[in-house]
Amino acid sequence: MRHLAANALTVLIVLGICIAGAIAWGVSVYRAPGPHGDDRMVMIPRGAGVATITEALSEAGVIGDPMIFRLGVRYSGQGPSMKFGEYSVPSGASMQDVASLLVSGRTVQHPLTVPEGWTVWQVAQAVTGMDVLEGEIESLPTEGMIAPDTYNVQRGQSRQEVIDRMVAVQARILNVAWENRAPDLPFDTKEEALVLASIIEKETAVVGERPTIGGVFVNRLRKGMRLQTDPTVIYGITKGEGVLGRGLRRSELDRRTAWNTYQIDGLPPTPIANPGKAAIAAAVMPAATDALYFVADGTGGHAFATSLAEHNRNVAAWRKIERARQAE
């Protein structure tokens, strides 16, 4: 009996040594440099389990032994924490490194720039055209409710999710600006502030001018003067879908639309573009100015005037610059 027990003990010891050796070997393989000699792009599907993730990594050639990878992530408990998305796996990354990368969620980011002054229609075209995104845009916000910015998106993200994120950013900007608005503005709601901000945005690309232009429009609203701004007329023609691509005709200035501020009193019913943070600030915190008019000055900015006579002189100067440029 003692002989049998000794033999059994020997077998158990040998078996234990073998198991320990196998585990040590598996750990070394799991931590060893990967088989790929260059960076590899791998797409992990949304909702993928360990088996699907392992298959994707194996097909991309970033892991050498799928079984060791599955055992490693299950033993470490990382499996449920690995996130979907597109990953750039560095050259020679070990299976342990790959698992940690997927747990971190450091996916490849694709920039999407929404310039200040774009319309919702233009943003929708850009989002639809990004082939890294998925799904349809099911719901668009009202004009003005998208924040201009550069957004990092990831492959496989839904288009509606990206739009919703842009809307949430604009809502926060507008709410903060409205809470810190100047007293006695000639409008009562943050929605009206957004309308004015969109007009300011389309009138100038010079950031430093925006508060003054905001001041001009606020002055005109207080006096009951019409805003008489060309970008609103253009929006009444295009509805924000594309660029007019030419100058306004006299018949268009004379034709009454809901956005023709040469023909209507006060603000138009909706924004005419998506204004940036600076334009929104200029609408709710306009500069103190006596100016009631402005016109291009030939430098990219505007000449401001407090009287119609002064404004007419500025207009004449601008027309002279225009004629000189056309003659060149």
Residues 74-84: tens digit of each pLDDT:
888 887 888 88
Q: Averaged over 121-128, what is the pLDDT?
A: 97
More confident residue, 173 or 58: 173
pLDDT at 257 over 90: yes
Query: d(Cα 59, Cα 48) in Å, to the nearest integer?
Result: 15
Are 73 and 197 in a shared domain? no
Encode 95-121: b = buried (16+ Cβ within 10 Å), e = exposed. bbbbbbbbbeeebeebebebebbbbbe
Q: CA-CA-CA-CA torsion for 15, 20, 24, 26, nearest 10 degrees?
A: 60
Confidence of residue 17 (pLDDT cuts 50, 70, 90): low
Residues 155-213: tens digit of each pLDDT:
989 999 999 999 999 999 999 999 999 999 999 999 999 999 999 999 998 999 999 99
Of 82, 104, 126, which closes a domain?
A: 104
Residues in the chain: 328
Are 123 and 206 in a shared domain? no
More confident residue, 99 or 19: 99
Are 65 and 119 in a shared domain? no
Q: Averaged over 117-123, what is the pLDDT?
A: 97
More confident residue, 86 or 328: 86
In a domain, 183, yes or no: no
The pLDDT score that the predictor gives to residue 2 is 52
Are 250 and 214 in a shared domain? yes
In a domain, 4, yes or no: no
* Total domains present in the chain: 3
The pLDDT score that the predictor gives to residue 11 is 47
Are 163 and 250 in a shared domain? no
More confident residue, 326 or 232: 232
pLDDT at 26 over 60: no
Residues β-bridged to residue 110: 153
In a domain, 71, yes or no: yes
Confidence of residue 71 (pLDDT cuts 50, 70, 90): confident
More confident residue, 321 or 124: 124
Domain around 88: 24-104
Cα 130 to its chain centre, rounded Å, is: 12
Are 304 and 205 in a shared domain? yes
In a domain, 180, yes or no: no
Residues 206-243: tens digit of each pLDDT:
999 999 999 999 999 999 999 999 999 999 999 999 88
- The CA angle 48-54-58, to the nearest 5 degrees, is 130
Query: d(Cα 57, Cα 189) in Å, to the nearest integer?
Result: 53
What pTM was estimated for this model as a whole? 0.83
Are 196 and 307 in a shared domain? yes
Confidence of residue 266 (pLDDT cuts 50, 70, 90): very high
Are 245 and 206 in a shared domain? yes
For 115, what's the count of Cα atoms within 13 Å in the CB-facing half-sphere? 6
Please count the other Cβ atoms lying within 10 Å of the Cβ belonging to residue 183: 4
pLDDT at 15 over 90: no
In a domain, 33, yes or no: yes
Q: Residue 88 is encoded by which pair of tokens?
A: 């750039």
pLDDT at 114 over 90: yes
Encode 151-181: b = buried (16+ Cβ within 10 Å), e = exposed. bebbbbbbbbebbebbbebbeebbeebbeeb
Query: d(Cα 135, Cα 124) in Å, to the nearest integer?
Result: 13
CATH assignment of the domain containing 76? 3.30.1490.480
Q: Kindly give, in sequence order, each residue whose CB lies less than 8 Å from that of residue 246, ignoring residues fewer than 6 positions away.
A: none
State the angle between helix axes of 159-179 and 190-203 in degrees (0 to 180), rounded to the nearest 10: 100
Query: Are the C-beta atoms of residues 61 and 36 closer than 8 Å to each other?
Result: yes
Are 192 and 321 in a shared domain? yes
Query: Are the C-beta atoms of residues 131 and 111 closer than 8 Å to each other?
Result: no
The pLDDT score that the predictor gives to residue 129 is 95
The pLDDT score that the predictor gives to residue 227 is 97
In a domain, 15, yes or no: no
In a domain, 7, yes or no: no
Query: d(Cα 235, Cα 243) in Å, to the nearest integer?
Result: 9
The pLDDT score that the predictor gives to residue 93 is 86
Query: Are the C-beta atoms of residues 260 and 253 closer than 8 Å to each other?
Result: yes
Q: Residue 49 is encoded by which pair of tokens?
A: 């389990």
The pLDDT score that the predictor gives to residue 300 is 86
Are 146 and 218 in a shared domain? no
Q: Averaged over 271-287, what is the pLDDT?
A: 97
> What is the radius of gyration, based on Cα positions, of the chain?
32
pLDDT at 23 over 90: no
Are 228 and 308 in a shared domain? yes
The pLDDT score that the predictor gives to residue 234 is 94
Query: Are the C-beta atoms of residues 161 and 236 closer than 8 Å to each other?
Result: no
Are 320 and 266 in a shared domain? yes
More confident residue, 318 or 151: 151
Q: Kindly give, in sequence order, each residue whose CB lies less than 8 Å from that of residue 272, ignoring residues fewer than 6 positions away.
A: 119, 143, 144, 195, 198, 199, 202, 231, 232, 234, 235, 240, 259
Q: Residue 150 is encoded by which pair of tokens?
A: 């550069």
In a domain, 53, yes or no: yes
pLDDT at 105 over 60: yes
Residues of the chain with pLDDT > 90, as a percent, come to: 58
pLDDT at 6 over 50: no
pLDDT at 4 over 70: no
Query: Are the C-beta atoms of residues 277 and 268 closer than 8 Å to each other?
Result: no
